[in-house]
Amino acid sequence: MALIRKSVWWRRYASGALGLISLLGWRGASFKLEHLLKKAIRETGLDDFGPDHFLEPLNILIKDFITHNQTDTLGRFVYSQMILSSLKNRLNLHHVLKKYPEVENVPIHAPLIVIGLPRTGTTFLQGLLSQVSTLRPLQNWETHQLPVPQCLATTQQVQQQLKTAQAQIDGVNRLSPEFIKAHELGTLEPEECNPFLMSSFYALLFCQLVYAPDYFQYVFASNFGDSYTLHKKHLQALSFNREEKTWFLKGPAHIASLAQLLVVYPDARIVFTHRNPLECMPSMASLTAMIRMVCLPKQDLKLIGPGMMKHLQQMLDVGYRTRDAWPAASTPFLDITYKKLVSNPVDTVHQILNHFSIPIPNGMDEKLESYLAKRTQHRHGIHKYSLDEYGLDEAELMQNFQRESDLANG
């Protein structure tokens, strides 16, 4: 029997109102490619998207959304805004590169990157590492590319980006009120670097937001296009004429494209997080349901788990093949278990910094303890989930993710 989760009660009225004004000529929920491109150009005042090979994955993404998702006018509007945001990021980045070509000469030395299956403590670890003054975190608002290098941005431009970021966060929390129990967002909080990949339109995060099975396989078959080339250029725009620090980034999706990441960042230092699959998989299924409530008015929970498990298994298998092929003498990897991270967070940070020979700044432990005192677990409510609720089978999970289970248990 299907378990149906429905969106907030007021959604049908908001969507109905948008549907009505659509009949009167409003095109905010349009998914025609030409309309989206023109809207991005109009809102930025820029017209150079760079090489046009992003159009093919974008077309497949749009087709997948229309084909595989039963949504409403509000959902179409929200998802079109997500695509529009990536188009605007792309326009702004190419404008920066054209006007300030020296940006591409900025070195990005040995970034520290946290990856692992979703819900394995990557966000918790990212927050801890943001307290290390010798590291440079990526903040949420910074994932919205400015039309100039950050060092040249005016106060007005920065304030506008902060407002844009906060509006997106508010929208997520209104349409999916339970989301904050599982994942807290904040404009000045450290954020995943997915938007930098999304500006290429070869990014797996699009597949978490809605059902996009054809796009998922297309991105794999395309070897993730030029996504990491653009990713680096976004970082260079943020780093230009700034004090050089070690970037630290986080993104579970990097598992699937580890080979491409290491081509662009051959000196990257990779922290792998591991957690019992019986814990992280239903948690991820629940989070997926929550984030999809933003675009979908209802969904069958029993269908989420199996599809998610299949995709994550494929991503993890690809990542481990890359890792296993890496020369043992120069391995840039470090394994961290969720169990160790939660029980000894300060020691875990020390372990990471020592392993990668990153200097430990004075007063770091005090900052970490202060951070932990404020970031108590379940402060926004308890995130509840179960295997059966999302169509997940315990024996199948353990069989498909045996290596991950072994690593999680140390």
What is the value of pTM for the model shown?
0.95
Go through 332-344 and write b for each residue having 16 or more CB atoms within 10 A of its CB, e for each that does not: bebebbbebbeee
Classify 250 as helix, strand or coil.
strand
51: its two tokens:
């090489």
Q: How do beta strands 269-274 and 333-337 pair?
A: parallel
Q: Give all domains of the chain, ordered by start, each with its CATH number.
A: 37-261+269-325+334-408 (3.40.50.300)
Average of per-residue pLDDT values in the chain:
95
Q: How do beta strands 269-274 and 298-300 pair?
A: unpaired
pLDDT on residue 327: 76
Task: Point out the residues of the chain with pLDDT beneath 50.
Answer: 1
186: its two tokens:
């904040």
Residue 121 identity (one-letter amino acid)? G
pLDDT on residue 158: 98
Q: How do beta strands 298-300 and 4-6 pair?
A: antiparallel
DSSP states along 56-118: HHHHHHHHHHHHH----HHHHHHHHHHHHHHHHHHHHHHHHHHH-GGGGG----S-EEEEEST
